[in-house]
Amino acid sequence: MPSNGAMIRTPRTFWLPCHDEWLAQRIDNLENLPEFWKMMVSLYKCSPYDLFNWGLRIDPTDEDNILEELCGILPHAAFGGDIVKLRDALQYAITLRVEGHILPIGPLDQQSLAKLVQQGVRLGDDPRSYDTAQLVKMSDAWNDTKRRRWYSTPLLWELANYVQDREVRPASEKTFFVLEFRDVEAIVACIDSLHVKGWFSHSVDQTNDSWLHANRGKWDELKPVGLEQLKAWEKESMLIRMNARAADLPDWSQGQLDVRFWLGPGCDRRFRITMAAFNEKWHKFC
């Protein structure tokens, strides 16, 4: 499971004793981490590290409380087990909260990828080989994806109406998506509001209670089973991320097509920093 999208060989020699110390502290200090892992694996068929990419990370000063709040929304029909929809909502809440923040960024949808193929763009080629015309097509594909993904999603519209107060932050904080407790709180409030308006049949608490009740008898069997497996999967996930950083890969899940559409002229140039620099700013183990 901790393949972050694909089974790849990881550089185990990169793992140092200080990493073990950091991981042990993480397991000890994050009470809600086991539940979050179990729900991500069961509902989204992926690891938490497949959610926290494309520039999205948790505020490390309040991580356990945020994980608890996230567990509450994971089963809801607003996301339907779709990791992209979940990440979009979390990123969008941050974008609305911080004045001048970059817009959400995520993978191209299948319709846009098919269109690129029809236009003669060879997906997966070394991005340094693309000419200007190809890069324009790629950034146009992102804008097509964005329109389809955002404009048909009631939750994002509700968030735009709900989040009114904007925070002034330094420019360096407008390029990455640092998730705070209030961002998840806003999503909960918006889902519950849409439930009252008839968009969703159940509120956040109703859906979460129902899912937990249905899985109560098999909770101990849900993976990862026990703290040792949790520790092993956390370690493997971090090794994969370290390997990706060493290979100078973007901040995305492994195994997807190498389509770096954010290099195109039609995209916010700050996306280049988002996708290239965040790993250097996160999880300083030693």
pLDDT in the model for residue 3: 52
Enclosing H/E stretch for 111: helix 110-118
Highest mean pLDDT among 121-125, 221-225, 247-251: 221-225
Lowest-confidence region among 2-6, 52-56, 270-274: 2-6
**pLDDT higher than threshold 70 for residue 285:** no
Is 150 a member of any domain?
A: no
As given in the structure block, the two tokens for residue 195 are 């439930």
Percent of the chain with pLDDT over 90: 66
**pLDDT higher than threshold 80 for residue 152:** no
Is 243 a member of any domain?
A: yes
Q: How many CA atoms lie within 13 A of 246 on its CB side?
A: 13
pLDDT in tens, 84-117: 999 999 999 999 999 999 999 999 999 999 999 9
Is 201 a member of any domain?
A: yes
Report residue 2's pLDDT band, with 50, 70 and 90 as the boundaries. low
DSSP E strand boundaries for the chain = 56-58, 177-179
pLDDT in the model for residue 262: 93
Is 130 a member of any domain?
A: no
Is 7 a member of any domain?
A: no
pTM of the predicted model over 0.75 = yes
Is 160 a member of any domain?
A: no
pLDDT in the model for residue 6: 40
Question: What total number of domains does the chain contain?
Answer: 1
Residue 79's alpha-carbon distances to 52, 109, 187, 191, in angstroms, are: 16, 16, 11, 11
Report residue 54's pLDDT band, with 50, 70 and 90 as the boundaries. very high
CB atoms within 10 A of CB 167: 11
Which bin fits 168, alpha (ψ -120 to 50), beta or left (φ > 0)?
Answer: beta
pLDDT in the model for residue 119: 92
pLDDT in tens, 231-249: 999 999 888 888 888 888 8
Is 118 a member of any domain?
A: no
Give me the DSSP letters along 10-61: --GGG--HHHHHHHHHHHHH-TTHHHHHHHIIIIISS-GGGTS-TTEEE-GG
Q: List the domain range (segments joined by +) for residue 70.
A: 12-102+171-255+269-281
pLDDT in the model for residue 5: 45
**pLDDT higher than threshold 60 for residue 133:** yes
Single-letter residue type at 85: K
CB atoms within 10 A of CB 28: 10
pLDDT in the model for residue 279: 57
Tell me the average pLDDT across 138-158: 89
Beta-carbon contacts of residue 170 (< 8 Å; ≥ 6 apart): none
Is 275 a member of any domain?
A: yes
> Across the chain, what does the average pLDDT equal?
88
What is the spatial distance between Cα 90 and Cα 116, in angstroms, rounded to a whole number? 28
CB atoms within 10 A of CB 157: 14
Q: What dihedral do alpha carbons 12, 278, 246, 254 form, nearest 10°? A: 70
Give Rg (Cα) of the chain.
Answer: 19
pLDDT in the model for residue 208: 97
Percent of the chain with pLDDT over 70: 91
pLDDT in the model for residue 222: 94
